[in-house]
């Protein structure tokens, strides 16, 4: 027997179904909302973790930079950069010292070179240049110290040996100067330098030999100096070799050298740009004419002696040197 479903029961069933549908919908909505919350918090936690990681990494980098010993790679980068910056700074100071010297600012040049040395303690050129300046202003102890330090850094530097030789000459320590010149010559071939020329080295050693009365050694060195192709021939080299020849009794050779010295001076006078230069060169030529005249008298050549004295007289007159013209006039009259 079939039951009859009343409207009331049907209505109730429908209501229940409606509640169930709403409940199911709400459940699905809550489940979806819960998933959204989880994703949202997962994203937040991810960014928080990433932030801490980045901050921690940054802290480690800063720490390694502050304490380079903790990271060898950082050490290498920092050290290399510092070295390049230091070298550039030292070079800048060294170059600026040239400007200071050209302007006559000795103290400024010394300060620049000192700064260059502080930036690069192995900069040999800075020690040499500062030593040269100290030598020129008479601070020989400081100059000697700079040359010694330069040679302790580079024992094959001919310029440092040569400049220290010049200092030892001023100190009248000729043996030490000779040793330095010999070292300069020995190191020059293996370490040539544009600042220095073999012509100058041989000439300076010839001068030392002359002062030490090693006549043959002096003549050999002066001859080597004159034979060099580079640089400019100095009238003093001819004149000093003439002195060595004179000491050995080689008067004819000495006269030839005085003649050559005068010839070089006549060429230099043509290129002189100041009155002081022309007067200085003229006085040297006058002196060489007088020495040549004395040698010509020693070998019995009175006419050549008279000619030399007349040339010297003409130069003295052009210089308005009254005392010298009177003295030479008397000598010329004595040869009449």
The verdict on residue 1 lying in a domain is: no
Q: Is residue 161 part of a domain?
A: yes
Domain match, 143 and 192 both = yes
Residues 180 and 260 in one domain: no
Q: In 3-state terms, what secondary structure has residue 191?
A: coil
- From 196, 217, 246, the end of a domain falls on 196
From residue 155, alpha-carbon distances to 161, 175, 212, 333 in Å are 9, 19, 27, 60
In whole angstroms, give the CA distance from residue 120 to residue 147.
Answer: 16
23 occurs within a structural domain: no
**Could you give the CA distance from residue 242 to residue 257 in angstroms, rounded to a whole number?**
5
pLDDT attached to residue 94: 87
Q: How far apart are CA 314 and CA 326, in angstroms?
A: 12
**Whether pTM exceeds 0.75:** no
Spatial contact of 117 and 89, defined as CB atoms under 8 Å apart:
no
Nearest to 122 by CA among 97, 99, 143, 152: 152
Please check whether residues 186 and 238 belong to one and the same domain: no
Are residue 287 and residue 190 in the same domain, yes or no? no
Residue 175: inside a domain, yes or no?
yes
pLDDT given for residue 1 in this prediction: 40
The answer to whether residue 101 sits within a structural domain is yes
**pLDDT tens digits, the chain, 336 residues: what are they?**
444 444 444 444 444 344 444 444 444 444 444 444 444 444 444 444 444 444 444 444 344 444 444 443 333 323 333 344 444 588 888 888 888 888 888 999 999 899 999 988 899 999 999 999 999 999 999 999 999 999 999 999 999 999 999 999 999 999 999 999 999 999 998 888 888 899 999 999 999 999 999 999 999 999 999 999 888 889 999 999 999 999 999 999 999 999 999 999 999 998 889 999 999 999 999 999 999 999 999 999 999 999 999 999 999 999 999 999 999 999 999 988
- Residue 98 has what pLDDT? 82
Q: For the chain, what is the domain count?
A: 2
Question: What CATH number is given to the structural domain containing 145?
Answer: 1.25.40.10
Whether 163 maps to a domain, the answer reads: yes
Distance CA 280, CA 315 (A): 11
Distance CA 121, CA 61 (A): 32
Q: Is there a domain that residue 330 lies in?
A: yes
Q: Which pLDDT value is given to residue 102?
A: 86
Q: Give the CB-side neighbour count of residue 98, counting CA atoms within 13 A.
A: 5
Do 182 and 232 belong together in one domain? no
Residues 262 and 190 in one domain: no
196, 218, 251 - which closes a domain: 196
What is the domain extent for residue 158? Answer: 89-196
Structural domain includes residue 62: no
């Amino acid at each position: 027997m079939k039951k009859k479903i009343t409207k009331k029961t049907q209505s109730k069933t429908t209501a229940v179904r409606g509640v169930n549908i709403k409940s199911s919908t709400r459940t699905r909505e809550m489940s979806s909302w819960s998933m959204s919350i989880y994703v949202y918090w997962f994203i937040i936690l991810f960014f928080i973790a990433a932030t801490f990681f980045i901050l921690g990494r940054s802290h480690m980098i800063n720490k390694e930079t502050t304490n380079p010993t903790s990271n060898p790679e950082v050490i290498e980068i920092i050290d290399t950069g510092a070295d390049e910056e230091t070298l550039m700074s030292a070079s800048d100071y060294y170059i600026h010292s040239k400007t200071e010297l050209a302007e006559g600012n000795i103290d400024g040049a010394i300060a620049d070179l000192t700064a260059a040395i502080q930036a690069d303690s192995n900069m040999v050129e800075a020690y040499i240049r500062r030593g040269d300046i100290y030598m020129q202003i008479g601070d020989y102890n400081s100059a000697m110290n700079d040359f010694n330090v330069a040679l302790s850094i580079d024992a094959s530097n001919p310029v440092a040996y040569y400049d220290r030789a010049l200092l030892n000459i001023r100190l009248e320590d000729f043996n030490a100067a000779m040793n330095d010149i010999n070292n300069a010559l020995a190191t020059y071939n293996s370490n040539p330098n544009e600042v220095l020329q073999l012509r100058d080295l041989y000439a300076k050693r010839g001068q030392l030999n002359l002062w030490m009365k090693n006549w043959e050694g002096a003549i050999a060195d002066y001859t080597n100096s004159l034979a060099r192709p580079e640089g400019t021939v100095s009238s003093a080299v001819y004149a000093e070799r003439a002195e060595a020849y004179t000491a050995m009794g080689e008067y004819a050779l000495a006269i030839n050298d005085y003649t050559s010295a005068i010839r070089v001076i006549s060429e230099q006078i043509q290129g002189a740009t100041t009155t002081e230069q022309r007067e200085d060169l003229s006085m040297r030529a006058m002196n060489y004419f007088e020495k040549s005249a004395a040698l010509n008298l020693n070998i019995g050549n009175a006419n050549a002696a008279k000619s030399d004295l007349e040339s010297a007289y003409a130069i003295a007159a052009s210089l308005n040197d009254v005392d010298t013209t009177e003295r030479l006039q008397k000598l010329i009259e004595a040869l009449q």
